[in-house]
Amino acid sequence: MTTLTSTQNFALTAAEVERFHKEGYLGPFAAVSPEEMAGIREHIDTQVIPRQGPNPRTPLQSRHMDSRVVYDLATAPAIIDRMASLYGPNLVLWATNFFCKEPGGKEIPWHQDQNYWPLEPIINISAWIAIDDVRIDNSCVQVLPGSHKKVVQHVASRDGMAFGEEADPRGFSTDGLVNMELKPGEFFLFNEKLLHHSEPNRSNRRRMGMSVRVTIPIVRINHDVPPLHPGHHAMLVRGEDYMGFIRLGEPPVAG
Ligand SMILES: O=C(O)CCC(=O)C(=O)O
């Protein structure tokens, strides 16, 4: 069983690396067991989200900066070892984001993450970790395999969407979409250009996940602009910062 303190090495096989490059995503894998996630979820719900976090605009972002529990989940060896198989031995954690959809929560339109981010160049690998049990009916993330090979123009979203901009619906087809159903504690990996989406939450169950965003030291981060915020810094989670221009800080010790 995977645990946060596991000494197992989670390096990907050559076939998995090839699949990631072909399809733009990989998984699911387990970061922690459903039992461990039950304790983590309780902590996040009662101790983390109710208090003010580092981002003054929302308690749902950057909580790895002020919660050790969130930081440990975001940097579980099962996640970071696999990221290192894909993006190399030097990795920088620059963002986390809870995506919480209560029953009735809005559709997140099809999009490519690179449209929204203050990175130059935009190189990123994300892990989307299931905090709750995530099924089709409570709006699992959907992905379009291979869609990371083309940049799709983003336009103002249609009414009723959770984001202000979406990938131009005339620029792609949703044929072949894959539903990323996950047990609590499972995650999948995807890159900055993969088209992904989630339906409105039509169930009576909450659907919460957390995205973990990791880049490499050649990438400049504009720390002070949305979705980041004043006081933001990144954290080296593997290897060394061989460039030296990213604003780095230490992980939290508690919370
Ligand atoms: O949680 C969702 O439905 C969408 C997540 C997402 O867009 C992301 O992690 O980049």
* Residue 65, domain member (yes or no): yes
* Whether the predicted pLDDT of 1 surpasses 60: no
User: How far apart are alpha carbons 171 and 220 in whole angstroms?
Assistant: 29
> Which of ligand 1's atoms lies nearest the C-alpha of 141?
3
Mutate to test the pocket of ligand 1, among 98, 99, 111 (most ligand atoms within 8 A of CB): 99
At 69, phi and psi to the nearest 5? -65, -45
Rg (CA), the chain: 17
* Residue 210, domain member (yes or no): yes
Neighbours of 217 (CB within 10 A): 20
Residues 213-234 pLDDT 10s: 999 999 999 999 999 999 999 9
* Residue 4, domain member (yes or no): no
DSSP string computed for 33-55: -HHHHHHHHHHIIIIITTS--S-
Q: Is 118 helix (H, G, I), strand (E, B) or coil?
A: coil
> Which of ligand 1's atoms lies nearest the C-alpha of 108?
3
Q: Is ligand 1 within 6 A of the CB of residue 95?
A: no
Rounded percentage of the chain residues whose pLDDT exceeds 70 = 98
Q: Which domain does 143 fall in, by range?
A: 14-238
Distance 107 CA to ligand 1 centre (A): 10
* Residue 78, domain member (yes or no): yes
The CATH number of the domain holding residue 36 is 2.60.120.620
For residue 83, what pLDDT band results from cuts at 50, 70 and 90?
very high
Mutate to test the pocket of ligand 1, among 141, 147, 181, 193 (most ligand atoms within 8 A of CB): 141
* Residue 244, domain member (yes or no): no
Question: What beta strand segments (E) does the chain contain?
Answer: 25-30, 91-101, 108-111, 119-120, 125-130, 141-143, 154-156, 165-167, 178-180, 186-191, 196-198, 207-215, 220-221, 235-238
* Residue 118, domain member (yes or no): yes
Over range 75-93, report the average pLDDT: 98
User: How far apart are alpha carbons 41 and 43 in whole angstroms?
Assistant: 5
| Partners of 186 in beta bridges | 30
Q: What is the domain count for the chain?
A: 1
* Whether the predicted pLDDT of 245 surpasses 90: yes
* Residue 254, domain member (yes or no): no
Given a contact cutoff of 8 angstroms between Cβ atoms, the answer to whether 235 and 69 are in contact is no
* Residue 233, domain member (yes or no): yes
